[in-house]
A and B are shown apart, each in its own frame.
Chain A
Amino acid sequence: MTLIVAGPTGTVEHDGGQFHPEQQARIFSVMDGVRALELHDEIVYPPVPKAELDELARVHSITYLRELEAFCEQGGGDIDPDTYARPDSWVAARRAAGAGLAAISALEAHGDGIAFVPVRPPGHHAERDRAMGFCLLNNVAVAAASLTAKGQRVLIVDWDVHHGNGTQSIFWDDPNVLYVSTHQYPLYPGTGAASEVGGPNAIGLTVNVPLPASATGDVVRASVDRVARPTIERFSPDWVLVSCGFDAHKADPLSELALSSGDFAELARLVNEFTPRPGRLALFLEGGYNQVALQTSVAATLGALLGIDTHPSEPTYGGPGMDALRHIASEQERAIDLSHALPGRSEEHA
């Protein structure tokens, strides 16, 4: 199977300094994980152009885009206590978003394989008109919107430890995007309760599985397999995009879930079951701030999809949260039942 790597981006630009956890070193660790696969020249690296304004405007307001560009041109600064922009961050963010588009194009051209998008800044916290949580432009949303513009139905699985508030809000009422998130809760950004299930035209197409601190990999996998699977199978996606943060790893300094690199391998295999055919899976780097965990988790994730054993750590079991999954599943089923009862929703979206 072909591995397409659309990136890396953010290796030099968008410099937050050595004390900010969202730093260039992350990308080098991620690429060490790619190199651990020992695929060498077999990896396809497509050209990564900057995303154009009209491509970004599918998910961001023009006003916000102009403001961000001007903010960077004027020297940048801190946007909130977590999020910074530098003079070159506008270009870096456009390249990160463009990488996702390049990954989709490469998959379409090959008709086979998987795509990995190792980029920074990350994207899933960026909303339509605001940057936050280290994110400037929502990379996975830009890619998903390019597909829905062509009539495709997109599943976004977000296993970053933080809820992807930006992605959720952008597709909140979009019946062509199913957003599934597993995340520690409560935790930044404070959204992602199980009761958040989508807008009037997409009820049940937002699936949040909030998990307690110390939850282990078995709980995260059960979240996808038991809670989200019925909705995913009913939705029947044409494409599967993954917001694959690796900050749910137990060594990550920004959160308290307890996954191992082996858990990410298992998660990747599980999510791959939802792809309708080869060449329809792309994984977008989001968070992950422990360099060793990043390297081993990237290798484990991609290795699992490509059938390469990178000898990851054993999957984890026995953490809290399993008991709450039944309640979350019930809430989702009620929301889906409600969507069936709503007038104006076509059968194909039910």
Chain B
Amino acid sequence: MSRIESIVVGFDGSNDSRTALRWAADLATLAGARLRIVHAVGLLEHAGLGTTIEIHREKAVQTATDAGLSLADIEWSVVDGDPCSALLRMTEAPESADLVVVGTRGSNAKSGSILGSTSLELAERSTVPVVIVPTETLDSANHHN
């Protein structure tokens, strides 16, 4: 297996996406890889009807630096589109990545349904390995806090 140099992680501000970001940041630190945090902007967020992008950026960068990454190893990207398509675009030519990391459920998906599950759709469509980080338990969340 070739060395992991670039990790893409999806971040929508949800607890699950923060768990995925922590896991990806830990792996990036261990592997000496670049961490590319991707935030997909949909119709509502573009119109200012969702959480502001700057708040997401601050949370995401803080989470990554808390895991030991330097700012130079972190890339923050805002991509127009639905979460799955945005993540795929950041892993496919002309972009590239060795791994894409997502949480089990984003801020919107309904448990038990394939519909609306970015992680399941991504696993089906991605051409690079996908890591789906399980929902964090309260104990392990406290460990991080």
Taking beta carbons and an 8 Å cutoff, which residues of A are in contact with B? 19-21, 67-68, 71, 74, 77-83, 130-134, 162, 186-191, 253-255, 289
> Judging by beta carbons under 8 Å apart, are B82 and A133 in contact?
yes
The answer to whether residues A78 and B89 also contact, given A132-B82, A133-B82 and a CB cut-off of 8 A, is: no
> Judging by beta carbons under 8 Å apart, are B81 and A81 in contact?
no
> Judging by beta carbons under 8 Å apart, are A21 and B41 in contact?
no
Most buried by A among B44, B45, B108, B114: B44
Tell which of B46, B106, B113, B114 touches A188, judged by Cβ atoms closer than 8 Å. Answer: B46
Alpha-carbon distance A264/B89, docked complex (angstroms): 33
> Judging by beta carbons under 8 Å apart, are A71 and B44 in contact?
no
Q: A81-B12, A188-B81 are in contact. List 18 more A-B contacts (CB 8 A).
A: A19-B49, A67-B113, A71-B110, A71-B113, A71-B116, A74-B113, A77-B110, A77-B116, A78-B110, A80-B42, A81-B40, A81-B83, A82-B82, A186-B80, A188-B41, A190-B86, A191-B81, A253-B47
In the complex, whether B121 has a CB less than 8 A from a CB of chain A is yes
Alpha-carbon distance A36/B85, docked complex (angstroms): 41
Alpha-carbon distance A150/B121, docked complex (angstroms): 34
> Judging by beta carbons under 8 Å apart, are A188 and B121 in contact?
no
In the complex, whether B31 has a CB less than 8 A from a CB of chain A is no
Alpha-carbon distance A328/B106, docked complex (angstroms): 37
How near does chain B come to A69, taking the closest CB pair, in angstroms?
10
The answer to whether residues A133 and B43 also contact, given A67-B114, A71-B110, A78-B108 and a CB cut-off of 8 A, is: yes
How near does chain A come to B69, taking the closest CB pair, in angstroms?
26
> Judging by beta carbons under 8 Å apart, are A190 and B89 in contact?
yes
A131 partner residues in chain B, CB cutoff 8 A: 115
Which residues, 30 to 54 on B, are CB-close (under 8 Å) to A? Answer: 40-47, 49-50
In the complex, whether B71 has a CB less than 8 A from a CB of chain A is no
A81 partner residues in chain B, CB cutoff 8 A: 12, 40, 42, 44-45, 50, 83, 106-108
How near does chain B come to A153, taking the closest CB pair, in angstroms?
29
Tell which of A19, A67, A133, A134 touches B115, judged by Cβ atoms closer than 8 Å. Answer: A67
A-B pairs, top 10 by smallest CB distance, nearest first, are A190-B81, A78-B108, A77-B110, A79-B116, A190-B80, A82-B42, A82-B43, A81-B42, A254-B47, A189-B81
In the complex, whether B4 has a CB less than 8 A from a CB of chain A is no
How near does chain B come to A115, taking the closest CB pair, in angstroms?
27
How near does chain B come to A168, taking the closest CB pair, in angstroms?
13
A186 partner residues in chain B, CB cutoff 8 A: 80
Tell which of B89, B108, B113, B114 touches A80, judged by Cβ atoms closer than 8 Å. Answer: B108
How many A-B contacts if CB must be within 8 Å? 84
- Pairs A–B under 8 Å by Cβ, sample size 6: A81-B40, A82-B43, A132-B82, A186-B80, A190-B79, A254-B43
Tell which of B42, B86, B106, B115 touches A68, judged by Cβ atoms closer than 8 Å. Answer: B115
> Judging by beta carbons under 8 Å apart, are B82 and A80 in contact?
yes
Alpha-carbon distance A81/B41, docked complex (angstroms): 9
> Judging by beta carbons under 8 Å apart, are B121 and A130 in contact?
yes
Closest to B83 in A: A80
Alpha-carbon distance A80/B41, docked complex (angstroms): 11
Closest to B108 in A: A78
Most buried by B among A21, A79, A162, A191: A79
Alpha-carbon distance A74/B115, docked complex (angstroms): 12
Alpha-carbon distance A255/B46, docked complex (angstroms): 8
> Judging by beta carbons under 8 Å apart, are A188 and B43 in contact?
yes
A67 partner residues in chain B, CB cutoff 8 A: 113-115
> Judging by beta carbons under 8 Å apart, are A254 and B46 in contact?
yes
Alpha-carbon distance A187/B80, docked complex (angstroms): 6
A253 partner residues in chain B, CB cutoff 8 A: 47
How near does chain A come to B85, taking the closest CB pair, in angstroms?
6
In the complex, whether B109 has a CB less than 8 A from a CB of chain A is yes
The answer to whether residues A21 and B113 also contact, given A79-B108, A81-B50 and a CB cut-off of 8 A, is: no
The answer to whether residues A162 and B115 also contact, given A80-B108, A189-B81 and a CB cut-off of 8 A, is: no
Most buried by B among A20, A21, A80: A80
> Judging by beta carbons under 8 Å apart, are A189 and B109 in contact?
no
B41 partner residues in chain A, CB cutoff 8 A: 188
Closest to B107 in A: A81
How near does chain B come to A265, taking the closest CB pair, in angstroms?
26
Which residues, 110 to 142 on B, are CB-close (under 8 Å) to A? Answer: 110, 113-116, 118, 121
B50 partner residues in chain A, CB cutoff 8 A: 81
Closest to B44 in A: A82
Alpha-carbon distance A253/B12, docked complex (angstroms): 22
> Judging by beta carbons under 8 Å apart, are B89 and A162 in contact?
no
Alpha-carbon distance A258/B80, docked complex (angstroms): 20
How near does chain B come to A230, taking the closest CB pair, in angstroms?
29
